[in-house]
Structure 1
C-alpha cells in the first residue's frame, strides 16, 4: 500500500512538472513573435502541347534541374512543316502577283496620263481651228459684202478656205470627243488597276499571316521550359500521341517558393504585406531563410455562425502567405517549415493602442 502511494505521488509530480513545462513553453511562445507552421509550395507550371503530334524525343528526365528556355521534348513536325512550305510557296506567288499588279497599275497610270494629255492637245487644237474658222468665215463674208471691189477669184478662195476650216473643225471635234472618251476610259482602267494592286497587296498580307501561323505551329514542335525549375513529372513517353492542350511535363520552381500559415484573430495586427519573416526547416536546423509577407487574407479561414464571445473570436484564423528567398532551391515542395514574423512587426503591433 505504501508503495502504491509513493508511485502515485511520483506520477503526480512528473505530470505536474510536464504540465508546468508545457505552460512555460506556451507562455514563451505567446510572448514571442507571432508565426506558425506551413508547407513549402513551389511555383508549378504545366507545359502543354498545342499540336496533335507524336513525341519524338524527351531531352530531360524527371527530377532534372533545367534553366529557362531548355529543350524539354520534340514532337513530330512533318505535317506543320509541310503546311509551312505550302504557305511560303503561296506567299512567293502572292508577292509575284502583287509586283505584276503594281507594274500594271503604273502602266495604266502612264497610259491615263498620256490619254489625258492627248485629250488636252486635241481640245487646244479644236479651239485653235475654231478661232481660225471664225476668222476665215468673217473674212469671206466681208469680201462678199465688198461686191465688185474684190475679184471673184479672191472671194471664192476666201469662201473655200472658210469651208475647209469648217470641215477641219468638224473633224477635230470628233477627234477631241474620241480623245476625251479615251482619257476617261484610261482613267477608269487606272483606277481598276490600282484596286487590283491593292487587292494583291492585301492578299500578300493575308498569306504572310498564314506563314506566321504556320511558323508558330512549327515552333510548337519543340517544347521549351518557360521558367527555371525542376522537372517534377513527364506525362508522356516517346511514341505517345500528344493531344492539343494535353500536359506533357510539369515544372516546379523551387527557387521562388512560398508557404502559408495561419494567424489567430488576436495576432492579426502584427502582420502586414511587405514585412519580413524568418523560415526554418527541420531538414536544415542550422540555417534560416529570409521571407517576406505577400498577402494577408481579409476573410477568416474559420468563421462561426455567430461571433459573440471571446472564445469565438479566438478561434478565427487568417491565412498569411510569405515568399521565401531560397536561391539554392533547398526547400522542396511539401517540406514542413516554421515561420516567424520579424520581431519588429510584433513590436509595432504591441505599440498600437
Structure 2
C-alpha cells in the first residue's frame, strides 16, 4: 500500500513538473517576439497548351532544373505548319496581284496623261484652224467686193480655201469632243486602277496577318520555360493529346522562396509590411535566414461563426506572408520553417506604403 502511495506521489510530482514547464514555455513564447510556423513555398507557373495536338517529345524530366526559354515539350506541328504554308502561298499570290495592280495603275496614269495631252492639242488645233478659216473667209469677201478688179478663178479659189478650212475646223471640233470623252474615260480608268491597287495592298496586309497568326501557332508547338526553375510535374506522356488550356508542365521558381504563417488576433499589431523577420528551418538547425514581411491579411482566417468571448477573439488568426533571402536550392518547397518577427523598422515600413 505504501509503495502505491509513493508511486502515486511521484507521478503527481512528475505531471506537475511537466505542466509547470509547459506553462512556463508557453508564457515565455507569449512574452517573446511574435511569429509562427509555416511551410516554404515557391512561385509555381503552369505552362499550358494553346493547340489541340499530340505530344511528340518531352525534353525534361520531373525534378529537373531548367533555364528560362528552355524547350520543355514538343507538340505535333503538322497541321499548324500546313496552315503556315498555305498562308505564305496566299501572301505571295496577294503580292503578285498587287504588283499587277500597281503596274496597271501606272499604265492607266500614263494613258490618261497622253489622252489629256491629245485633248489639249486638239483645242490648240481648233484655235489655229479658226484663225486660218477667218482669215480665208475675209480674203474671199474682199475679192468679191473688188468686182471686175479680180478674176472669177481667184474668187473661187479663195472661197474653196475658206470652205476647206471650215470643214477642217468642224472635223477638229468633233475630234476634240472625242478626245475630251477619252480623257474622262482614261481618268476614270486611272481612278479604278488606283482603287484596285489599294485593295491589293489591303489584301497583302490581311495575308500578312494570317501568316503571323500561323507563325504564332507554329511557335506554340514548342512549349518553353517562362522562367528558370524546377520542373514539378509533367502530366502528359509522349503520344497523349494536349487540349487547349491543358497543363503540360508546372515549374516552381525557388529563387525567392516564401512562407505564410498565422498570427493570432492579440499579436496582429506586431506585423507590418516591410518588417524584417528571421527564419529557421528544421533541415538547418544551426542556420538562420533573413526574411521580409510582404503582406498582412486584412481578413481573419478560421474565424468562428459567433465571436462573443475573449477566448473566441484570441482564436482569430491572420495570414502573414514573408519573402525569404536564401541561396538557390537551399530552402525547397514543402520544408517546415519557424518565423520570428523582428523589430518594426519605420523606414522600411514607410517604403512599403503606397
2:33 is the alignment partner of 1:60: no
Gapped regions of structure 1 (runs ≥ 5): none
Q: Distance in 1 between matches of 2:260 and 2:242?
A: 35
Alignment of 1:173-188 (within 5 A): 173-188=173-188
Listed one character per residue, the Cα deviations across residues 297-337 of structure 1 (whole Å, up to 9, x for unaligned) are 11122444554543343222211112223331222222221
Corresponding residue for 1:287? 287
The alpha carbon displacement at 1:140 in A equals 4.0
The alpha carbon displacement at 1:76 in A equals 2.0
Corresponding residue for 2:113? 113
Q: Are the aligned partners of 2:122 and 2:172 in contact in 1 as well (CA < 8 Å)?
A: yes
Rate the CA distance shift 1:145–1:322 in 2: closer, same or farther, 3 A: farther
> What RMSD, in angstroms, separates the aligned Cα atoms of the two structures?
2.5
3-state SS in 2 of match to 1:195? helix
Q: Are the aligned partners of 1:58 and 1:238 in contact in 2 as well (CA < 8 Å)?
A: yes
Corresponding residue for 2:228? 228
The alpha carbon displacement at 1:122 in A equals 1.2
Rate the CA distance shift 1:229–1:140 in 2: closer, same or farther, 3 A: same
Alignment of 1:1-353 (within 5 A): 1-141=1-141, 144-145=144-145, 147=147, 152-305=152-305, 307-344=307-344
Is 57-66 or 147-156 further displaced after alignment?
A: 147-156
The alpha carbon displacement at 1:146 in A equals 5.6
Q: Are the aligned partners of 1:270 and 1:345 in contact in 2 as well (CA < 8 Å)?
A: no
Listed one character per residue, the Cα deviations across residues 275-314 of structure 1 (whole Å, up to 9, x for unaligned) are 2222221112122222222222111224445545433432
The alpha carbon displacement at 1:171 in A equals 0.8
Rate the CA distance shift 1:5–1:116 in 2: closer, same or farther, 3 A: same
The alpha carbon displacement at 1:152 in A equals 4.7
Q: Distance in 2 between matches of 1:81 and 1:239?
A: 19
Q: Distance in 1 between matches of 2:185 and 2:4?
A: 128
Q: Distance in 2 between matches of 1:298 and 1:132?
A: 104
3-state SS in 2 of match to 1:176? helix
The alpha carbon displacement at 1:190 in A equals 1.0
Q: Are the aligned partners of 1:105 and 1:190 in contact in 2 as well (CA < 8 Å)?
A: yes
3-state SS in 2 of match to 1:328? coil
Listed one character per residue, the Cα deviations across residues 72-102 of structure 1 (whole Å, up to 9, x for unaligned) are 1222222222222222222222212211211
The alpha carbon displacement at 1:115 in A equals 1.3
Query: Please, what TM-score do these two structures have when normalized by structure 1?
Result: 0.89
Q: Are the aligned partners of 2:276 and 2:343 in contact in 1 as well (CA < 8 Å)?
A: no
Q: Distance in 1 between matches of 2:292 and 2:149?
A: 125
The alpha carbon displacement at 1:158 in A equals 3.9
Q: Are the aligned partners of 2:140 and 2:158 in contact in 1 as well (CA < 8 Å)?
A: yes
Q: Distance in 2 between matches of 1:22 and 1:146?
A: 154
3-state SS in 1 of match to 2:293? strand
Q: Are the aligned partners of 1:56 and 1:74 in contact in 2 as well (CA < 8 Å)?
A: yes
Q: Are the aligned partners of 1:51 and 1:244 in contact in 2 as well (CA < 8 Å)?
A: yes
Query: Please, what TM-score do these two structures have when normalized by structure 2?
Result: 0.88
The alpha carbon displacement at 1:201 in A equals 1.4
3-state SS in 1 of match to 2:344? helix
3-state SS in 1 of match to 2:69? coil
The alpha carbon displacement at 1:126 in A equals 1.8
